[in-house]
Structure 1
């Protein structure tokens, strides 16, 4: 993998330089105002949320967070695997999980090949909610899903993070979505995809009993966050004329709307960004492609043109027979052996299986599921 080779080459380079410095008879004296050496390639980490920055003050890793409760271990590992397969820069996975899953995560990730482990580090955290209302938050919608609301308050030393649900697969490098952070304008602090592209089949605009963002709402299964900005921002709301900080706002918001929300924390995020629309960047649906984009006919135009970038198998479609095309992609990544040629061991077997799903709604969109994946695979093969 590129990140492994990059690390190896840098190590060789440093050994050569060190040898030259040791055996060189004399060398010019350094000016005290100059750097005493190049900064390390990436940050180091010490436990939950404690970050050591590079000498230049930057953090070169991409931070990806996920919340896993109940029988979500294997699904989460497949998601993490998809992130590692194609990404160029190193990753830091922040895994929030129930206590009985911690050892399983550590054993599974530590068992991956050394060259793969060079591409990421991970930290496993306990599920953590405010003590006064912990049970209420934990049971909101899916078990533990509302943990994502508290990431800015828990990962205090992390500047930005990409949150994804466990039932997500990366078909394009994480780097490309991470790059969107640098394109936020001065007021934007998060990015998500629309809940629906077509208002006629939208849920929020037809059924919601609370405020929501834009025309059809947003889906929080893939959410890019500048958490420094979130922590610093004071948010407009419909509970008080005084803008509130993120941590001050969450519980009052739940108390006000808990009888009117259906999708838990996603609904709360929609309410927040309804009142603060200027703070949200909306990215295209191909970054959060769900069954709704194909079971009612193809209604994600960007995916038609460029392919699917992130596949979101909500409603359990990675594990049942409702959408065999989605399950085929999941199975292909799950079964792919690290180190083998991805064209012959991942892409080609997947294309064969997808041909047998064309009788289904989403099976007809099979070419969209492999269009960007083909490019990711071929780009990976060309890397040194």
Structure 2
């Protein structure tokens, strides 16, 4: 595998074209309102309605223009600068495969996750929805292929049944042939210790399986694990650079989970603000040197499994709380969840300078009304076509993000500085850059 460093110039300015597009959309809307008023109202009612419509029009335009001006003013004094960015070329997953865990809940009955979210039918249906999981996995694979320059992706799909694996493979049948040929999906069965027969169903089906990767995959030296509710916003192969940056003795690389800071009552956590297990960069050879022969087995031996039922992420944080030497803690660029926007979260300068690489819709965030910008990104990216142009998707996404800002609603990421830039930088690259992968050596 070879590397190259690309120089990148960053500008923190909202495009004026975005504001112009918003104005045109609002003009069209006001025209419709005025026409309806002319034909359905008379006298003072007509005048009052037209006046109200014009006031509303001016108010919304003012919000958009003020938002744009605020972004420009906040950028003053921040000169453009060159940010070295490490690119990984070739196909790193051939030697260190990507891993996903997919299990179907026995009581999964929700076939319309979007409707469940809209009607507030709750979180439980959404969390266990098989339809939602397949939709998210479909977009995960598409964005992985779209932004990547690797000609081969080896992905280990760990499931509890062969039929579940076949459903995952079926997702790729709609992909263009040349992209389907880039995927090498390999089936492995999830592994759990015999002494803990109920652990498979703890919290959610198979959620604990990612803690037993070293035990389940004895022939692999290193892997990169992803939850199925992630969307790639740039070349996924960059994540593999974290395997090389791990120091001697470090067994995993993990990003922060700042939710732990705000929890009341407090839960034990590791790192600066807790650790999130949605993306795990794991050296399995080193993990096998832990007591029991793997991370999950070591957690069980130490008793971090209790009290029952315990979330696997909580157990991992409890286990690593006093073992910082085992962890390479990275920024939220590699695993960006809504909690990454909390004011108490560790800073992430590379989120803005290099762009968010992995967006994590934890806890059905891509369907629930937790953060509006996560919803906007997810639904915009679903319109992405593997052989299509990213420019229309980019323009649509930029416009919708600007409108969300103009509404000034409160949600976790509403005050995160330059977030729109961080969310769209990968699409801008895809629209403007033509970087060819280097040949493997």
**Residues 321, 315 of structure 1: alpha-carbon distance in 2 compared, 3 angstrom cutoff:** same
Q: Distance in 2 between matches of 1:341 and 1:164?
A: 26
1:234 to 273, 277, 290: 290
2:332 to 285, 289, 297: 285
1:162 aligns with 2:207: no
What is the Cα deviation at residue 278 of structure 1?
A: 0.9
1:315 aligns with 2:377: no
Between the two structures, name the one with larger relative contact order (CA 8 Å, sep ≥ 6).
Answer: 2
Hey, what does 1:349 align to over in structure 2?
Answer: 396
- Per-residue deviation, residues 115-170 of structure 1 (Å, max 9, x unmatched): 11232211233443223423x21222222111101111111112211111111111
2:276 to 214, 219, 228: 219
Contact (CA 8 Å) 2:143, 2:231: kept in 1 or not?
Answer: yes
Q: Distance in 2 between matches of 1:127 and 1:60?
A: 21
1:112 aligns with 2:175: yes
Hey, what does 2:214 align to over in structure 1?
Answer: 152
| Equivalent runs, 1:21-40 vs 2, <5 Å | none
1:143 aligns with 2:227: no
Hey, what does 1:202 align to over in structure 2?
Answer: 261
**Residues 310, 248 of structure 1: alpha-carbon distance in 2 compared, 3 angstrom cutoff:** closer
Partner-residue secondary structure (3-state), 1:131: coil
Q: How many residues align?
A: 310
**Residues 59, 349 of structure 1: alpha-carbon distance in 2 compared, 3 angstrom cutoff:** closer
Hey, what does 1:183 align to over in structure 2?
Answer: 245
Contact (CA 8 Å) 2:229, 2:360: kept in 1 or not?
Answer: yes
Partner-residue secondary structure (3-state), 1:330: helix
1:251 to 289, 300, 322: 300
- Per-residue deviation, residues 25-80 of structure 1 (Å, max 9, x unmatched): xxxxxxxxxxxxxxxx97xxxxxxxxxxxxxxx97455211122341112112112
Contact (CA 8 Å) 2:254, 2:330: kept in 1 or not?
Answer: yes
| Equivalent runs, 1:78-97 vs 2, <5 Å | 78-89=139-150, 90-97=152-159
Partner-residue secondary structure (3-state), 1:339: coil
- Structure 2 unaligned regions, length at least 5: 1-89, 105-129
What is the Cα deviation at residue 331 of structure 1?
A: 1.8
**Residues 299, 292 of structure 1: alpha-carbon distance in 2 compared, 3 angstrom cutoff:** same
Hey, what does 1:367 align to over in structure 2?
Answer: 421
Q: Distance in 1 between matches of 2:99 and 2:222?
A: 10
Q: Could you state the TM-score of these two structures normalised by the residue count of structure 1?
A: 0.72
**Residues 253, 335 of structure 1: alpha-carbon distance in 2 compared, 3 angstrom cutoff:** farther
1:171 aligns with 2:233: yes
Hey, what does 1:68 align to over in structure 2?
Answer: 102
Q: Is the radius of gyration larger for structure 1 or structure 2?
A: 2
What is the Cα deviation at residue 356 of structure 1?
A: 2.6
Contact (CA 8 Å) 1:209, 1:260: kept in 2 or not?
Answer: no
- Per-residue deviation, residues 227-250 of structure 1 (Å, max 9, x unmatched): 11211x235xxxxxxxx5326424
Computed over aligned residues only, the root mean square deviation of the Cα atoms, in angstroms, reads 2.9
Hey, what does 1:332 align to over in structure 2?
Answer: 380
What is the Cα deviation at residue 109 of structure 1?
A: 1.7
Q: Could you state the TM-score of these two structures normalised by the residue count of structure 2?
A: 0.63
